Amino acid sequence: MNGKTKDYVGYALIFALAVFALSAASYVKTYSKSIQPSTFRNFSVSGEGKIIAIPDIAQFSFTVLTEGGTDLTGLQAENSKKVNAAIDFIKSEDIAAADIKTENYSISPRYQYFRCDYPVPLPLGIEGGATLRPDYYPKPCPPAEIVGYTISQSVSVKVREFEKIGSLLTGVVESGANSVSGVNFTIDNPTAIENQARAEAIKEARIKAEAIADAGGFRLGKILSITEGGGFYPYYRLEASIDNNGKGGGMPAPAIEPGSQDVVINVSISYEIK
């Protein structure tokens, strides 16, 4: 091999080593970014999005409580009659069966307990010492007896036409319910409103990030992470609670106002600094 050929081979080897070194450096840089993207060159900003929404669903619950003796079958029949009458009334007001749900049904026994008090025994003197009269020795205490039962059934109702709420609250009591409570308002499908609030939160965070980048003299890079907090916050507004011990009687329908609800989403976004 002559000298010129050796020179060519040496140049080629040096070039190959240089290309390899550059490729290795580029790979290491890319890999380090992939596993730890801009760890020391990033910052975070927060944003809040809030949408004021008008509720489209009202919910309330009513309870029928029946107490009596040991005739459990008769008590169940009495309780069921009152509950069914209240449900029939609700359905007559064009409330769909899918919006009526039994939340609780329970049967609880009522007990009579006995006191087992005995007089302090007195000793009887006999030759050789003292003993006790036989009728003063402890006797077994009789167990508690079931003297009756209490049956409770609670039903929740969704109302989509708010102008019916007042008459429904009054009507179920007149039909046999012992109590009505818990009028609250919510949004049937909050996803669309949450998405609006989320978009507002991300927009606010982006504006903050751009202002920080301008003030700091750097360019805003890609988004590295987003974390979200907050969510759908239903606003419950209790406007009526009726407890009439099962007695109806032409009570005036209460006024009901749904008010409004705040749907709030908070986000924290981490940006790359360029």
Cα separation, 58 vs 80, in Å, equals 25
Q: What is the pLDDT of residues 86-134, one digit of tens each?
A: 999 999 999 999 999 999 999 999 998 887 766 555 555 555 555 555 5
Measured from the Cβ of residue 208, the count of other Cβ atoms closer than 10 Å reads 16
Beta-strand runs (E) in 133-178:
145-159
Q: Is residue 39 a part of any domain in this protein?
A: no
Examine the pLDDT at 203 and tell me if it is beyond 60: yes
Mean pLDDT across 69-85: 94
Examine the pLDDT at 195 and tell me if it is beyond 70: yes
Q: What is the pLDDT of residues 23-34, one digit of tens each?
A: 655 654 555 555
Q: Is residue 32 a part of any domain in this protein?
A: no
Strands 123-126 and 129-132: antiparallel
Number of structural domains the chain divides into: 1
* pLDDT at residue 244, rounded to an integer: 46
| Full domain range(s) for residue 142 | 57-187
Q: Is residue 13 a part of any domain in this protein?
A: no
Contact 256, 92 (CB under 8 A): no
Cα separation, 102 vs 96, in Å, equals 14
Mean pLDDT across 180-208: 89
Examine the pLDDT at 84 and tell me if it is beyond 90: yes
Q: Is residue 207 a part of any domain in this protein?
A: no
H-helix or E-strand containing 51? strand 42-53
From residue 47, how far is each of 195, 197, 274 by CA, in Å?
14, 10, 22
Q: Is residue 70 a part of any domain in this protein?
A: yes
* pLDDT at residue 56, rounded to an integer: 87
Q: Is residue 159 a part of any domain in this protein?
A: yes
3-state secondary structure (DSSP) of residue 67? strand
Sorting pLDDT into bands at 50, 70 and 90, what band is 237?
A: very low
Q: What is the pLDDT of residues 130-154, one digit of tens each?
A: 555 555 556 677 888 999 999 999 9
* pLDDT at residue 247, rounded to an integer: 43
Report the b/e string of 158-172 with b at 16+ CB within 10 A. bbeeeebbbebbbbb
Q: Is residue 15 a part of any domain in this protein?
A: no
Q: Is the pTM of this model over 0.75?
A: no
CATH number, domain containing residue 177: 3.30.70.2970
Q: Is residue 118 a part of any domain in this protein?
A: yes
User: Which residue shows structure tokens 């705040």?
Assistant: 262
